[in-house]
C-alpha cells in the first residue's frame, strides 16, 4: 500500500468515526469464479488493503474488521489453517506499510487460542504501531460478542461478590467500560457484504445505535468506491439515538 493521505474535509461532511465491517462472501466469490475457497480468502486479503486505504482517504478514525469468529473453528481444518496462514502472511507483508501510513494495529478476541508464533506476531505489530494516529485498524480474531459481554458481566459480578461494587452501581457505561478496547468509540457504521442481513455475534453491545448497511457485493470485490458509496449512504441518514 503506497503512502495515503486523507482527501475529505470532515468539516464539510459527516464522516463516520468508526466503521466496522463483517467481511463476508470469500467462499461464494471463489465458487463463482470456479476457484478453490483458499483463493477467495486471498482475494479477500487484497480487499482489506483497499478498505484501509479508503478509510485513510475518507478520514475515518477506526476500522474494525471481523476476520475470524469464535464459531469459525467449526470450519474444515484445512480452511482454518489456510486462514491462519493468510493472517501470518498479512502481518509479515503489510505491517511495514501500515506503520508507514501511520496506522495503529489492534486486535480483539481471545488471541490466546492462536498458535504461539501468531501471538508473537500480533504482539509485535501492536507494539510497533502503538503510537500511530491516522487510523486505528482493529482485527477481530477468535471473537464473539456474546462471550465478550458475558466476560464483562462476570468481572462485575466478581466485584459485587467481593463487596467492591454494589449491584445498583452497575450502569450501561460501567459495563461498556469492561468490554474489549473500551477506549475506542463505538461503531457509527456497520457494513456486511455478500447480501446476508445479520450481525453474526459481532459487536452486539457496541453497535446498539450504529447505522447498519447490508451490501450485495462479495468481500473480494469490495473497493474504495464501495466504501465511498457506503459513507454516502451513511451521510443521508438522520441519526436520532432514540431522542425523537
Say if residue 24 carries a ligand binding annotation.
yes
Catalytic, out of 9, 24, 142, 221 = 24
Say if residue 199 carries a ligand binding annotation.
yes
Residue 72 annotated among the catalytic residues of the structure: yes
Region class of 171: left (phi > 0), else alpha (psi between -120 and 50), else beta: beta
Say if residue 132 carries a ligand binding annotation.
no
Say if residue 192 carries a ligand binding annotation.
yes
Three-state SS string across 48-98, please? Answer: HHHHHHHHHHHCCCEEEEEEEECCHHHCCHHHHHHHHHHHHHHHHHHHHHH
Say if residue 37 carries a ligand binding annotation.
yes
Q: Is the separation of the CB atoms in 225 and 50 below 8 Å?
A: no
Catalytic, out of 72, 132, 201, 223 = 72
Q: Report the C-alpha dihedral over residues 226, 228, 231, 232, rounded to 10 degrees.
A: -110
Say if residue 92 carries a ligand binding annotation.
no
Say if residue 239 carries a ligand binding annotation.
no
Say if residue 184 carries a ligand binding annotation.
no
Strand partners, 190: 20, 212
Say if residue 101 carries a ligand binding annotation.
no
Q: Is the separation of the CB atoms in 64 and 240 below 8 Å?
A: no
Assigned C-alpha cell, 14: 459527516
Assigned C-alpha cell, 156: 462485575
Say if residue 57 carries a ligand binding annotation.
no
Strand partners, 62: 18, 136
Say if residue 42 carries a ligand binding annotation.
no
Q: Is the separation of the CB atoms in 172 and 100 below 8 Å?
A: no
Residue 24 annotated among the catalytic residues of the structure: yes
Residues annotated in a binding site for substrate: 25-29, 37, 41, 69-71, 73, 75, 192, 198-200
Residues annotated in a binding site: 24-29, 37, 41, 69-71, 73, 75, 192, 198-200, 211
Q: Which residues are catalytic?
A: 24, 72
Residues annotated in a binding site for Mg(2+): 24, 211
Amino acid at each position: 500500500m503506497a503512502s495515503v493521505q486523507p482527501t475529505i474535509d470532515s468539516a464539510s461532511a459527516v464522516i463516520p468515526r468508526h466503521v466496522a465491517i463483517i467481511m463476508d462472501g470469500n467462499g461464494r466469490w471463489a465458487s463463482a469464479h470456479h476457484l478453490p475457497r483458499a483463493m477467495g480468502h486471498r482475494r479477500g486479503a487484497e480487499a482489506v488493503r483497499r478498505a484501509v486505504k479508503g478509510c485513510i482517504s475518507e478520514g475515518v478514525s477506526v476500522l474494525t474488521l471481523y476476520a475470524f469468529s469464535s464459531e469459525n473453528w467449526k470450519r474444515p481444518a484445512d480452511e482454518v489453517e489456510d486462514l491462519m496462514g493468510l493472517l501470518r502472511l498479512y502481518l509479515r507483508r503489510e505491517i511495514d506499510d501500515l506503520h508507514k501510513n501511520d496506522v495503529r494495529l489492534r486486535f480483539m478476541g481471545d488471541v490466546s487460542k492462536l498458535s504461539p508464533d501468531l501471538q508473537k506476531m500480533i504482539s509485535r505489530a501492536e507494539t510497533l504501531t502503538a503510537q500511530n494516529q491516522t487510523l486505528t485498524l482493529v482485527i477481530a480474531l477468535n471473537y464473539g460478542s456474546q462471550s465478550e459481554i458475558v466476560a464483562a458481566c462476570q468481572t462485575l459480578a466478581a466485584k459485587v461478590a467481593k463487596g467492591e461494587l454494589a449491584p445498583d452501581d452497575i450502569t450501561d457505561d460501567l459495563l461498556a467500560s469492561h468490554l474489549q478496547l473500551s477506549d475506542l468509540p463505538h461503531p457509527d457504521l456497520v457494513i456486511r457484504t455478500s447480501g446476508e442481513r445479520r450481525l453474526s455475534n459481532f459487536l452486539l453491545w457496541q453497535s446498539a445505535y450504529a447505522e447498519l448497511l447490508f451490501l450485495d457485493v462479495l468481500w473480494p470485490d469490495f473497493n474504495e468506491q464501495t466504501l465511498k458509496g457506503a459513507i454516502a449512504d451513511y451521510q443521508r441518514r438522520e441519526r436520532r439515538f432514540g431522542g425523537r
